[in-house]
């Protein structure tokens, strides 16, 4: 049986990796509590480098090199300091163009590092440092309830989750910073209205695939629950969302990387939850599990698994696959390949 994880989780961990693109220093320690916005790691890189080839520029012999270089590796230098000097009647100098440090003296070349540029990584959530990645960052963890989505635009946000019946309700005030759940298939022309309202994020049941390029550029976090196509939010997800309304939640609209198990997620932190183990137990799905169907013509709809045959079956397309028999809400039974549904509740 495939070990799919349920989309709706009650007592689980949100694990968010926060790392630098290039190595630097990690500013937190294991077990440390952090707030959203706290610095997790920082890389301070020289803003500029200058490599000065003493042999070539001064046109001196290698035997005279040692006497020409006036600074040692790792020495700090100030603007105007003499780094190298060619002796003789007409003396030539190489001076430090800025404050900095000599980082290498090799093979007749002096390398200066000057200025500073800083790259930082901040936590998008409150939580506890659960794991450190040497030189790169940390994993921040928090316990609570989760609703996993299918697609996100790569942005993170937090705020109060509110329900919006339809887009006509939205004004320019009262929505600032709010995470909005809109039970409509979003089209690109609605984005402008939502942007003007300065919402803090948006959750929709599905997106119009023909306008994909516009969705990836919206200025707020955007998550689609089912992916791309036409569907409404099914009842089990609506019920779970109801627990999130009017609460401070995180919308981590990660861009999905299915091969690395990275998905967007809506998360409600709950401090009261207690689990004795560090890792919450995996729930096994099977007969009786509620599932959400992928693919046409049942895209986004839900049902219950009523049968799980052991053998592969030949589908209408001619492909053979292991399947589950799913009873839909209207009582119809359909045979669905195991890969063609997500488990909502185990």
Partner 1 sequence: MVSTYLGIELAAQRTRAWLFDNESGVYQLKAQVDEPDYGDKREMIHQVLRELEKSSGQRLHTKHGKLFDINKDKNSSGLKGVGISYSMGKPIRAAIIGVSEKFSLAPLRRLLQFFNVEIVLELDLQKEPNVSNQLETLISTAYDLVVLAGGVDGGPEKALRAVINNLRLVAQLRGKTNRPQIVYAGNKELADYAKLEIEIEDDLYLAGNIQPESGREDLSFAFTAVLKAIQRVRIKEFPELEAFSGDPDIRFLPSEFGRGRIDHWLEQTQINGKGLLHIHLEPDHGHILAVRDGLRMGLWQANDLDQIPIEALKSLINLPVSDFNLTSYIRNKQLHPGFVPVTIEDLNIEFALTSYRIRKLLEGLSGLYDQFLYSPEQGLVDNFEPIMLSGSSLTKFLPLRHSFMAALDQILPRGITTIVLDEFQLMGTLGILAEFDNMLPTQLVDSDAFTSLATVINVVSPNAFRRIVLRVEVDEGDKGYRQHHQIHQSELKRLETMNNHEIRVYLAPERDTDVGMGMPGLGGWVNTTSSSLGIIIDARGRPLRLPTDEKDRQELWHDWLWEMGV
Binding site for partner 1 (CB under 8 A): 2-5, 21-23, 45-46, 48-51, 53, 103-104, 106-107, 109, 111, 134-136, 150-151, 208-210, 212, 227-229, 256, 258-261, 294-297, 299, 315-319, 321, 336-337, 339-340, 342
User: Among residues 36, 139, 50, 142, which one has the least CA distance to residue 94?
Assistant: 50
- Residue number, 48 or 232, with CB nearest to partner 1: 48
In the complex, the smallest distance separating the C-beta of residue 225 from partner 1, rounded to whole angstroms, is 11
Distance CA 230, CA 192 (A): 21
- Residue number, 104 or 167, with CB nearest to partner 1: 104
- Residue number, 200 or 221, with CB nearest to partner 1: 221
- Residue number, 86 or 335, with CB nearest to partner 1: 335
Distance CA 101, CA 49 (A): 10
Intra-chain end-to-end CA distance of the chain, in Å: 13
Distance CA 224, CA 203 (A): 6
The upper half-sphere exposure of residue 145, i.e. CA atoms within 13 Å in the direction of its Cβ, equals 17
In the complex, the smallest distance separating the C-beta of residue 9 from partner 1, rounded to whole angstroms, is 15
In the complex, the smallest distance separating the C-beta of residue 313 from partner 1, rounded to whole angstroms, is 11
DSSP line for 140-180: EEEEEEEEE-SEE-SEEEEEEEEEES-GGG--SSS-TT-EE
- Residue number, 42 or 243, with CB nearest to partner 1: 42
Q: How many residues does the chain have?
A: 346
- Residue number, 229 or 236, with CB nearest to partner 1: 229
- Residue number, 1 or 90, with CB nearest to partner 1: 1
- DSSP 3-state of 248: strand
In the complex, the smallest distance separating the C-beta of residue 21 from partner 1, rounded to whole angstroms, is 5
Radius of gyration over every alpha carbon of the chain, rounded to an integer in angstroms: 29
Distance CA 222, CA 202 (A): 5
- Residue number, 51 or 287, with CB nearest to partner 1: 51
Sign of torsion, CA 158 163 166 171?
negative
In the complex, the smallest distance separating the C-beta of residue 191 from partner 1, rounded to whole angstroms, is 17
- Residue number, 73 or 242, with CB nearest to partner 1: 73
Sheet holding 290-293, edge to edge: 333-337, 323-328, 302-307, 290-293, 341-345
Return the C-alpha torsion angle 18, 182, 151, 208, nearest 10.
-150
**Cis, bond preceding 297 (omega within 30 deg of 0):** yes
In the complex, the smallest distance separating the C-beta of residue 35 from partner 1, rounded to whole angstroms, is 27
User: Which whole-number Å values give the CA distances from 184 to 37, 141, 237, 244, 332, in the listed order?
Assistant: 32, 32, 14, 18, 25
Q: Are 157 and 264 in contact (CB under 8 A)?
A: no
In the complex, the smallest distance separating the C-beta of residue 213 from partner 1, rounded to whole angstroms, is 10
In the complex, the smallest distance separating the C-beta of residue 318 from partner 1, rounded to whole angstroms, is 4
In the complex, the smallest distance separating the C-beta of residue 140 from partner 1, rounded to whole angstroms, is 20
């Amino acid at each position: 049986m495939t070990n799919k994880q349920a989309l709706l989780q009650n007592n689980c961990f949100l694990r968010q990796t926060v790392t630098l693109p290039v190595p630097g220093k990690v500013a937190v320690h294991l077990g440390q509590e952090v707030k959203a916005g706290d610095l997790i790691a920082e890389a301070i890189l020289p803003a500029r480098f200058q490599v000065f080839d003493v042999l070539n520029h001064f046109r001196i012999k290698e035997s005279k090199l040692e006497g020409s270089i006036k600074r040692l590796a790792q020495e700090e230098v100030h603007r105007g300091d003499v780094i190298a000097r060619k002796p003789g009647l007409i003396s030539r100098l190489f001076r430090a163009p800025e404050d900095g440090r000599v980082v290498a003296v090799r093979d007749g070349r002096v390398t200066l590092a000057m200025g500073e540029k800083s790259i930082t990584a901040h936590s998008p959530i409150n939580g506890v440092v659960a794991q450190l990645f040497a030189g790169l960052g940390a994993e921040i963890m928090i316990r609570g309830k989760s609703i996993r989505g299918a697609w996100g635009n790569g942005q993170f946000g937090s705020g109060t989750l509110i329900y919006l019946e339809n887009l006509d309700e939205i004004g320019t005030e009262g929505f600032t910073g709010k995470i909005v759940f809109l039970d409509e298939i979003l089209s690109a022309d609605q984005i402008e209205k939502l942007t003007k309202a300065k919402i803090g994020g948006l959750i929709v049941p599905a997106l119009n695939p023909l306008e994909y390029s516009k969705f990836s550029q919206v200025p707020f976090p955007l998550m689609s629950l089912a992916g791309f196509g036409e569907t409404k939010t099914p009842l089990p997800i609506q019920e779970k969302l109801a627990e999130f309304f009017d609460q401070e939640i995180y919308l981590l609209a990660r861009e999905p990387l299915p091969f690395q198990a990275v998905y967007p997620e809506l998360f409600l932190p709950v401090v009261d939850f207690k689990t004795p183990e560090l890792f919450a137990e995996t729930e096994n799905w099977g007969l009786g599990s509620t599932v959400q169907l992928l693919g046409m013509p049942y895209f986004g709809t839900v049902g219950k698994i009523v049968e799980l045959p052991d053998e592969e079956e030949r589908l209408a397309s001619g492909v053979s696959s292991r399947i589950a028999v799913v009873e839909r809400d209207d009582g119809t039974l359909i045979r669905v390949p195991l890969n063609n549904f997500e488990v909502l509740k185990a």
